[in-house]
Every structure is written in C-alpha cells, then in structure tokens.
Amino acid sequence: MSILVSPSLLSANFLNLKADIEMLNRSQANWLHLDIMDGIFVPNITFGMPVISQIKTATSKPLDVHLMIDKPERYITAFRDAGADILTVHLEGAIHLHRTVRQIKDTGAMAAVAVNPHTSVELLFDILEELDMVLIMSVNPGFGGQKFIERSYDKIKKLSNEINSRSLNVKIQVDGGVDNTNSAKLVQCGANVLVAGNYVFKSPNPEEAIISLKNA
C-alpha cells in the first residue's frame, strides 16, 4: 500500500493560509489534515465549520478532519456539510462509538477513530470492520510541535497485526512528531497514512519534505 501524507494545517501560516493551501495543491500531499479543537476535550481551541468551508473552496484534495471535541456526534452532519471527506472522532470522546461511526458512514464520509497515547488499541478491535481508518496519536492531543512518544511503535504493530489477521481494509494513520527520522520505522510497523505539521510547514522546502515522507 502506498504511503499517504496528510499535512496538518495547524502548523500553516494563518495570515497567508491560501498560499500554503496552494502549495499543498501543487505538492504530492494526498489529504489536508484539519485539527478541530473545542477547548473541552483538549486544552486548546482552533477553528470550525466556516473556516473548513473556505478551505474546501481552495483545494480539490480531500479534507481529513480530526475532531478533537467532546460529544462529536452533535456535529457530524455539520462538518460533513462544511466539506469534510474523512471524519475522525476520538474513542475517548464518543460515548456510543459504534453509533457515531455509523452516523459518519451515513453521511458518505470515510469513518475513522483516534486513540490517545494512554488508550489501548484493543478497545477498537470489536468495531474494526466498521472503520476505514484508525488514527494513532503519537503525542498528547491539543498542541503541535510535541515530541514523538516511542511507545507508539508497539501500538501500531499490534493494530497492524490484527487488521492483517482479519484481512481488513483499514488504514493506520499516525499523528504527532512525525518527520523523516521516524517515518520509515512507522511504515515498517504498519502505518500507511502520515500526518505532519511542523516538519512540512517549517521546512525550507515543504514540497520536498512531503516527498520524503511518501518515500519512507
């Protein structure tokens, strides 16, 4: 499976966001990763539906929307209507997870579930058949630029083994501290979608940084 790269706009230049989106349009990036934070589930606030709607008009690439919010089931339809192509909710934030995943599926979006660093991936095994993707958080969610948590490798291996043993078509996405020093090992462990913020947008050549991740 080819490696997909989903640069996180959380690290983009918000004073000139259009220029960064145009750069991503030219690049080999596959998706645009949008981190939605509500100040409750995580200690930070980012942006919501109006910004997503504007971003959607500026790119033809799929919007990979990561809902770091409490009770995400309240807003699934609204985020889909705003332009989300992939919707990721947190296991820790969705009380009735299976119902929320089905809600995402019913909108026509790809359905994904994220797990925080302290959460065991085994908790997702009962609903893996329902998912298009699992997001392994390799930092604590809420802020960009954090150090990669080494324990994440074992979680990715465990999840990958379970997916393969059941012949499921479920992608494994990794978000947090991803760069060219760990991307190859992440892929070796079973990851096939890499989210990167600072590594891409703080690079002297963001397009080359994206290529380096795709070639991991």
Tokens representing 213 are 């991740």
Alpha helices, DSSP H only, in the chain?
Answer: 17-26, 49-58, 76-82, 97-107, 152-165, 183-189, 198-201, 206-214
Contact residues for 205 (Cβ-Cβ < 8 A; gap 6+): none
The rounded Cα 88 to chain-centroid distance in angstroms is 7
By annotation, the residues acting in catalysis are 35, 175
SS3 111: strand
CA angle, 109 then 1 then 83, to 5°: 20
